[in-house]
Structure 1
């Protein structure tokens, strides 16, 4: 089996000028101050992560569980995208934006019937190794200091091992080892090979010529078990714990500041031919100041671009008289992210048509929020919002049928003007818990601690002949982040102006201040 600890720099040999002489190596390895590692106290999330591991352990007695963080992903040649650990790994360790690429969490069955958790990662190299100055992917001269095993063990309240020790885990993996497969494709390949070999070794020697066929059921069963693990982890995240809810509040607050920044900078954005880029950049600056980064590519869609649901090119103008739809969220260092949309009149005032459409969308959002409480089914949020959208589009004479007829499953004509869903769960991923079963997600019952969006919209394409010319090119979405409480629901983003009057006052006040 290939050694899992190898990390070699890519595509740099033809431009490397690092000296290779013995005298250089001796000199660069000498006369460094002694390192004195300060062990941090366990971070706040450590206790919550331990509780999550215990819950997972109880569901998989006797199974080894392997949860990789994932590796750096190549952007071009020898440059990589910024590293982001896998969601399952972060959820179970509490290691977010400061996590190490290639790390792996292993839950090993214990004699007591539970699991012992251990974290494997590539510890920093000593000064007697050329890694710390010659490896641009992980070397200290290139990316800065990396943590020791002891520091991470203290920080996360977890047992830690060097990455080389993971080989022993892989070599002993069999059908009782389950893996989060999508996180690290290279590790998954090694894992599958280990499981295949383990299955072969269990066969009688006389059956070896047919072993390729006899091991397939074992591999299929293992893959199904691994899929079950990923599903279980997604469903565990449907209900947030206290730490997660506090992080969501912080992410929403940072996002609110980002929207304030956008409003204050609108005069500059509207004066540039690619003003959408300025809107995006202003928000992204806030995300980097107050968090890790943006939770997803910011949508800054002005004018008819607002009718393109995932407009992320953001290369158009921001013109007075138009609306700009901004869909953005700050991701914290813990990886928890907000997801908020506001639609703003660039000049500070809605036209009559813009206001009418905007308030119709808000009415749909408010109706959906009004029913949110423990005990209803998640799909009812969407159904309620769609009832308002159908009523409004029918009232305006846009539908070939009545609103009541439109909402029947075999019709749905109103969906021409809003083809997306109204809600999705939110947390470590912007579209959180995506691998949960339908009966737990879309058909699931709301519980206190769930966090999701409510985001109805209306989008009238510039060339849509079913709507009045004055509607064409108008796109409106209002999106808020909702926490289910014991008695109802809380709009976490209610402090960001929502009504047409509030939004006009918000934009106009920023313009009047001269910013």
Structure 2
């Protein structure tokens, strides 16, 4: 006997809806009670006042994107380049995460914040009709502009409809904001197919599966390589777009400065919250929340999930659960960054004493990490220095301190050799990474351009050495166990080829940190 309220048995894999039954994918809308009468539709389309102009400001990057287009265009002259923004991603059932565009699209379009899901930027090769132009390509932005209020989309489309997501820009408004010619997304297929047999098409993969499928359909119809046969060509586009961001222009450096300033405000919010963390069952989440509120207020939100690691949790490099307690004598390692509306993010780590003062053992370890960071910074000043040399400079300092503490089982020289590396037990990560729209920016760049590349004007990167002594590490003195320290600063190479700390105003030296914490906690905000 079957309970009439029990769930139905799962359908067999080869079953299909019977006549009158809903398909499974349609059932997510069963909560909707939208009327469908013709009278409703007619009334819904009537009696609206004039539209208020959306008032989109010209984006800060608008004066810089054309130069970016031409730099990438010169590498792929005569080819059509397709750069999708990506679409919304489901969080649970029919609710999505807030949209964040693919970084290559954001960099080339200059669009900010949560604009513009499902858009596609195409760099079309200039042909005979553009012979008077020095540009190799013309950029066109394809997107879904706002619909008429007489359309069903206006009130019924939860993805694009104005009733659901607010007013969207028109083609003219978007063109004014970006400085890029704009077209309706419905024209994209025909635009891609133009001269497709004679013009190679490359697409940034893993950004939007539907756009990727459309490009492959056009390629197949034109007799061009598709799918895996085109993978090498597509990967070359992604690689070059990543390398394009290795050096930042003036606008990008200014945005990085703003992101760091906002991140300082976030850290000061954390410092004010520390007394409340002690004894809280989830003290680490109090820290996380203190930073997150500032990140959302000052910018687009978090550049990445905040690490708020107290005590031994600091020895888990990517501790993002932040579910632990905070004790008065702990160090709390906070790795956090604000992402601005422009999508540029800071990446700062400070290891703060919850009590406001470092113990003698904590101070000894902390000072060693600061010395390593300073050594990497000084190495960046040397002519002809390569990115990997900064890591080497920091490792030399850490290995020496570990030897002095008697925990290194071999000589400093042997540990630093490729055959040794024993010191890496206590710092298994790298010292530096590029920074920008992605917290680990330019990740698809070739090694000869990244780790083995020369430091150049406009490069923005981190310096973040650390020492991690896990609570169960019997190779170190008992007083070291459970202490983890990392200090991370954001650096830009200036016009003179010298490094400058973008995060210079966020105290980092131990005595300065203690004084900063005292001063912040004394304020009445």
**CA distance in 2: counterparts of 1:191 and 1:51, whole angstroms:** 25
Residue 107 (structure 2) pairs with residue 91 (structure 1) = yes
Residue 518 (structure 2) pairs with residue 502 (structure 1) = no
TM-score by structure 1 length? 0.92
Structure 1 position 468, deviation (Å): 1.1
**CA distance in 2: counterparts of 1:154 and 1:305, whole angstroms:** 49
Alignment equivalent of 1:34, drawn from 47, 50, 54: 50
Alignment equivalent of 2:320, drawn from 312, 315, 318: 312
Equivalent residues in 2 for 1:255-294, closer than 5 Å: 255-294=263-302
Structure 1 residues 265 and 220, CA, compared in 2 at 3 Å: closer, same or farther?
closer
**CA distance in 2: counterparts of 1:51 and 1:477, whole angstroms:** 38
SS of 1:470's partner is helix
Q: CA contact under 8 A between 2:146 and 2:169: conserved in structure 1?
A: yes
Residue 470 (structure 2) pairs with residue 461 (structure 1) = yes
**CA distance in 2: counterparts of 1:218 and 1:270, whole angstroms:** 58
Equivalent residues in 2 for 1:142-161, closer than 5 Å: 142-161=164-183
Structure 1 position 57, deviation (Å): 1.3
SS of 1:12's partner is helix
Name the count of aligned residue pairs.
491
**CA distance in 2: counterparts of 1:114 and 1:409, whole angstroms:** 46
Q: CA contact under 8 A between 2:101 and 2:114: conserved in structure 1?
A: no
Which residue of structure 2 aligns with residue 182 of structure 1? 206
Residue by residue over 1:69-115, the C-alpha shift from the partner in whole angstroms, topping out at 9 and shown as x without a partner, is: 00001111101111001111111110021411000011111123721
Which residue of structure 2 aligns with residue 376 of structure 1? 385
Structure 1 position 236, deviation (Å): 1.0
Residue 344 (structure 2) pairs with residue 336 (structure 1) = yes
Structure 1 position 128, deviation (Å): 1.1
**CA distance in 2: counterparts of 1:40 and 1:465, whole angstroms:** 60
SS of 1:265's partner is helix
Which residue of structure 1 aligns with residue 12 of structure 2? none
Unpaired stretches in structure 1, ≥5 consecutive residues? 1-8, 200-214
Which residue of structure 2 aligns with residue 206 of structure 1? none
Point out the more displaced range, 312-321 or 502-511: 502-511
Which residue of structure 2 aligns with residue 165 of structure 1? 187
Which residue of structure 2 aligns with residue 126 of structure 1? 148
Structure 1 position 286, deviation (Å): 0.7
Q: Give RMSD over aligned pairs.
A: 1.7
Point out the more displaced range, 420-429 or 173-182: 173-182
Structure 1 residues 189 and 266, CA, compared in 2 at 3 Å: closer, same or farther?
same
**CA distance in 2: counterparts of 1:106 and 1:513, whole angstroms:** 51
Structure 1 residues 181 and 396, CA, compared in 2 at 3 Å: closer, same or farther?
same
**CA distance in 2: counterparts of 1:227 and 1:478, whole angstroms:** 35
**CA distance in 2: counterparts of 1:367 and 1:323, whole angstroms:** 24
TM-score by structure 2 length? 0.90
Which residue of structure 1 aligns with residue 21 of structure 2? none
Which residue of structure 2 aligns with residue 391 of structure 1? 400
Residue by residue over 1:11-37, the C-alpha shift from the partner in whole angstroms, topping out at 9 and shown as x without a partner, is: 532111011111111111110112253
Unpaired stretches in structure 2, ≥5 consecutive residues? 1-24
SS of 1:90's partner is helix
**CA distance in 1: counterparts of 2:126 and 2:449, whole angstroms:** 30
**CA distance in 1: counterparts of 2:260 and 2:236, whole angstroms:** 32
**CA distance in 1: counterparts of 2:337 and 2:56, whole angstroms:** 30
**CA distance in 2: counterparts of 1:98 and 1:323, whole angstroms:** 36
Residue 71 (structure 2) pairs with residue 55 (structure 1) = yes
Which residue of structure 2 aligns with residue 437 of structure 1? 446
SS of 2:428's partner is coil
